[in-house]
Structure 1
Amino acid sequence: MKKALIISCYFPPQGGGGVQRTAKFVKYLPTYGWKPIVLTSKKQIIPVLDQTLLEDIPSDTHIIRTRTLQPRIPKKRNMIHHLIYVISIPDFSIWWIPFAVFEGFKQIKKEKINVIYVTGDPFSSYFIGCILKFFTGKPLIIDFRDAWILDPRRHVRTLMKWRDQIEKLMFKICVKHSEKVVLATPSMKKDFQKYFGSIKHPEKFITITNGFDTEDMEKIENVKKEKNYFNLVYTGSLQSVSRNPSYLFKALCLLKTDNPEIYNKIRLYLVGNIDEKYKQLVYKYGIKDCVKLEGYVSHNKSLGYLKMADSLVFIMESQNNVRQITSGKIFEYIAFKKPILALANQDSDASDIIKEIGSGIFANPIDEKDILAKLLYLYNLWEKNVEMTQLSLENISKYRREGLTKKLADLFEKTV
């Protein structure tokens, strides 16, 4: 069996959506003739743990956890924290590089590694792959979950433009010296092909999306359903200004005023880490009896909420030029084949997936009246026990993790 060195700074039991992509690749690669050797950080960087993700990894998987000098930076930073940020280019995980390179070199020689695969962010991980390729000659594949320099959400402060120029140079070096570049969305692929058109052939860029694992459906932690209520569920974090639930809250406030009878039959479950300011809005709009703040739960329990729901709420970035941004949650949403209330720009990869499956209805994410109208539409379907539409099962199946991992294994084969 051929071997792949999988370099991922974040790996189970650390939680989060980005961790799941790598974990599922590691789970299914042996099915397609590849043994993964995982190189990761010993230190818990992500502030959440999810043991259920670790249980998903085959017990015989070789996982090397190395030291790192990466600091934990609090939200409220002092001058020392700011200084560490300034010298940590492109990110704080740069302090993992010497330990990862040392251990990676040992494993390549010991295990006779055939290919090096690196996923980011953190984007500094790509340099580990580049250094190992330089010293060993092994082919390098880099996987962008986010687009780094080409991410439309990226903001460059005026005083840090010098840092931005350094990161752009690092970005080009990593892409130039990789054999293949994997992108998580079709629009990311187009953006990369355009940006690197002069130095890399378009065929070197490959799209492998996120997806859902059918085996996860067998390990769901059941969540008790409130009967006689129209149960809406949103899973995922609400931490950034761009992914904003406030207009949904306003819509519920309008409903409470205009039609309290229907309002009292609706429950909205927000499952995941939620910014304190959004929690305060729930009280401001007087909807705390309707909105249930469930906090962060294990992956298996989050699936339990999706199973329990009558309809799912999908909230996406509302600013312009975010076509390439696709939350990994959308794939688990479509796996449950339930109606989706999509508060999203229709010109996006995420929206294309919802349209392709035929499972959603769109509302303007910054228009509470439009959101309320679409919410009432779904409510009336639920009350009458009417199916919203005919789903495309064929299109759903192409987002299964097994098939997506086969695409990665095939890419490994073509590269070695």
Structure 2
Amino acid sequence: MKKVLIITYYWPPSGGGGVQRWVKFVKYLRNFGWEPIVFTPENPEIPSFDESLLNEIPENVKVIKNKIWEPYHYYKKLTGRKKTENIQTAFLSEKNYSSGVIEKLSIWIRGNFFIPDARKFWIKPSVKILTEYLKKNHIDVIVTTGPPHSAHMIGLHLKQKTGIPWLADFRDPWTNIDYYNDLKLGKRADKIHHRLEKLVLEYADTVTVISPGMSKEFNQIVPKEYVVIPNGYDTEDIEKNTKEITKSEKFSLAHIGSLTKTRNPENLWDALKQLVDENKNFAKDLEILNIGKIDISAVESLNKFGLKNFLKQVDYLSHDEVIIEQRRAILLLLLINNTPNAKLILTGKIFEYLVSLTPIICIGPTDGDAANVIKETSCGSTFGFDEVDNLKDNILKLYQQFNKGEITTTNSAINKYDRKYLTEKMSMLLNELYKDNSIT
């Protein structure tokens, strides 16, 4: 069986969206003639734990681990955070801590000195360990997945040292990621980020991305072919977690994932406030369920619109529990970051939303990648960041259907997002790299 070395920072028991993409690929790669070997840190700084994902890993998959040093221990001490607290990159706007100057200084240091990211100290020892490993063990293709983009730097060095075919998988952009400007980069640091990004795109034999928009964006940096392999849903997850699920008795609007400052949907809060003020029954039935971290800016907005008492906040659930809650909800909220790159954002959660048979309300660009998926699958509606009246009318219509027990949705044209199909597509790329390398 052909062998692929997968370099990933996130691996179970790490939880969250970033880990699932390659856990699912690893789960099914053997079906298509590839034996996965995983390289990951032994002591990563991870956003959350999900022990249930360990069950997704096939038996006897080799996982190589090495200890790494990260600066987050000192960052936590400087900003007054607990040792056990997990750091979330997207929460750069948090106001929970009084050390404002230190917080800003820490962010500036992170952006200007820890390039490409705070996991930079993982690069050199990993290259050394893997170079020795590759001398003794045959590997046909190397895969790196980022962010963190330090993983791609490991791949770049290994490509230069060994010549083994290299596939770089981008789950998010690099210099166009939504929080890039919040890093307060100087000209030198910004130049280095762009140079490293370009090197990775040039040297990688194949580059995969999760959305058409990201493909177009990278093509402006380095013109070449970029292969879109989106995230998806696992039929096995759905089948094992959907037995005897009872819909919520509340008119529950559920959001899964971090509710960050850039995802804070003030137009949605405005529409809900108007409906609460105008309709006593709506006010009695409404529930806003957020499963994931919530930024203080979103809490302040809910207070401003008088909706705080409707919020049911759950900091974290396992992946299995999330699937159940998606089916229980009456509506699912897909909140796109209100940032310059909003059109190309295609979050992983959308694909599990699709198979939940729960209508989706998306707040984001109506001509963006997420909106296009919702439109082609007929599973919901998308509203612009400033739309209020149309959004309000749509929610009221859905509430009326909810009262009649008639709220339904379809999920047409979703088979192409099945994890098994996507793994087959990924394996075909690996086969091409293997074939090309065999010829040369």
The code of the aligned residue for 1:410 comes to: M
Identity %: 34
Residues 36 and 62 of structure 2 are in contact (CA less than 8 Å); yes or no, is this contact kept in structure 1?
yes
Q: How does 1:176-325 map to 2 (within 5 A)?
A: 176-197=202-223, 201-202=224-225, 205-220=226-241, 228-239=249-260, 241-325=261-345
Q: How does 1:324-343 map to 2 (within 5 A)?
A: 324-343=344-363
The code of the aligned residue for 1:164 comes to: D
Assess, with a 3 A threshold, how the Cα gap between structure 1 residues 156 and 340 changes in structure 2: closer, same or farther.
closer
SS at match of 2:417: coil
The code of the aligned residue for 2:158 comes to: L
Residue 120 of structure 2 aligns with which residue? 94
1:116 to 134, 139, 142: 142
Distance 2:218 2:110 in 1: 30
SS at match of 2:5: strand
Residue 21 of structure 1 aligns with which residue? 21
Q: CA deviation at 1:357?
A: 0.2
Distance 2:408 2:239 in 1: 26
Instruction: Give the stretch that moved more between structures: 305-314 or 278-287.
Output: 278-287
Q: How does 1:41-60 map to 2 (within 5 A)?
A: 41-60=41-60
Q: CA deviation at 1:128?
A: 0.7
SS at match of 1:345: coil
SS at match of 2:175: helix
SS at match of 1:38: strand
SS at match of 2:361: strand
Instruction: Give the stretch that moved more between structures: 320-329 or 354-363.
Output: 320-329
Q: CA deviation at 1:80?
A: 7.0
1:397 to 415, 421, 424: 415
Distance 1:82 1:92 in 2: 12
Residue 96 of structure 2 aligns with which residue? none
Instruction: Give the stretch that moved more between structures: 274-283 or 33-42.
Output: 274-283
Distance 1:176 1:284 in 2: 48
Assess, with a 3 A threshold, how the Cα gap between structure 1 residues 81 and 352 changes in structure 2: closer, same or farther.
closer
Residues 185 and 324 of structure 1 are in contact (CA less than 8 Å); yes or no, is this contact kept in structure 2?
yes
Q: CA deviation at 1:344?
A: 1.9
Residue 40 of structure 2 aligns with which residue? 40
Residue 380 of structure 2 aligns with which residue? 360
Structure 1 position 106 matched with structure 2 position 132:
yes
Instruction: Give the stretch that moved more between structures: 332-341 or 319-328.
Output: 319-328
Residue 11 of structure 1 aligns with which residue? 11
Assess, with a 3 A threshold, how the Cα gap between structure 1 residues 272 and 354 changes in structure 2: closer, same or farther.
same
Assess, with a 3 A threshold, how the Cα gap between structure 1 residues 47 and 317 changes in structure 2: closer, same or farther.
closer
The code of the aligned residue for 2:17 comes to: G
The code of the aligned residue for 1:301 comes to: E
SS at match of 1:268: strand
Residues 238 and 273 of structure 1 are in contact (CA less than 8 Å); yes or no, is this contact kept in structure 2?
yes
Assess, with a 3 A threshold, how the Cα gap between structure 1 residues 386 and 283 changes in structure 2: closer, same or farther.
same
Structure 1 position 413 matched with structure 2 position 434:
no
SS at match of 2:156: helix
Deviations 1:66-86 (A, max 9, x none): 111122134664657754653
The code of the aligned residue for 2:432 comes to: K
Assess, with a 3 A threshold, how the Cα gap between structure 1 residues 390 and 304 changes in structure 2: closer, same or farther.
closer
Distance 1:249 1:225 in 2: 27
Residues 216 and 300 of structure 1 are in contact (CA less than 8 Å); yes or no, is this contact kept in structure 2?
yes
Q: CA deviation at 1:92?
A: 0.9
Q: CA deviation at 1:401?
A: 0.7
Assess, with a 3 A threshold, how the Cα gap between structure 1 residues 318 and 222 changes in structure 2: closer, same or farther.
farther
Distance 1:138 1:389 in 2: 47
SS at match of 1:24: helix
The code of the aligned residue for 2:253 comes to: L
SS at match of 1:149: coil
Instruction: Give the stretch that moved more between structures: 247-256 or 206-215.
Output: 247-256
Residue 90 of structure 2 aligns with which residue? none
Instruction: Give the stretch that moved more between structures: 66-75 or 7-16.
Output: 66-75
Residues 140 and 164 of structure 2 are in contact (CA less than 8 Å); yes or no, is this contact kept in structure 1?
yes
Residues 223 and 305 of structure 1 are in contact (CA less than 8 Å); yes or no, is this contact kept in structure 2?
no
Assess, with a 3 A threshold, how the Cα gap between structure 1 residues 214 and 157 changes in structure 2: closer, same or farther.
closer
Deviations 1:179-199 (A, max 9, x none): 1111111111122223212xx
Q: CA deviation at 1:246?
A: 3.1
Q: CA deviation at 1:108?
A: 2.1
Assess, with a 3 A threshold, how the Cα gap between structure 1 residues 251 and 222 changes in structure 2: closer, same or farther.
farther
Assess, with a 3 A threshold, how the Cα gap between structure 1 residues 70 and 26 changes in structure 2: closer, same or farther.
same
Instruction: Give the stretch that moved more between structures: 158-167 or 266-275.
Output: 158-167
Instruction: Give the stretch that moved more between structures: 165-174 or 316-325.
Output: 316-325
Q: How does 1:158-169 map to 2 (within 5 A)?
A: 160-169=186-195
Deviations 1:87-146 (A, max 9, x none): 211111110012211222233233311100000111121111111122222111101111
Assess, with a 3 A threshold, how the Cα gap between structure 1 residues 10 and 390 changes in structure 2: closer, same or farther.
closer
Q: CA RMSD in A?
A: 2.3
Instruction: Give the stretch that moved more between structures: 224-233 or 121-130.
Output: 224-233
Assess, with a 3 A threshold, how the Cα gap between structure 1 residues 262 and 37 changes in structure 2: closer, same or farther.
same
Residues 252 and 372 of structure 1 are in contact (CA less than 8 Å); yes or no, is this contact kept in structure 2?
yes
Q: CA deviation at 1:262?
A: 2.0
Distance 1:390 1:53 in 2: 28
Deviations 1:369-405 (A, max 9, x none): 333221111112222333555541xx21110111111
Distance 2:181 2:108 in 1: 17
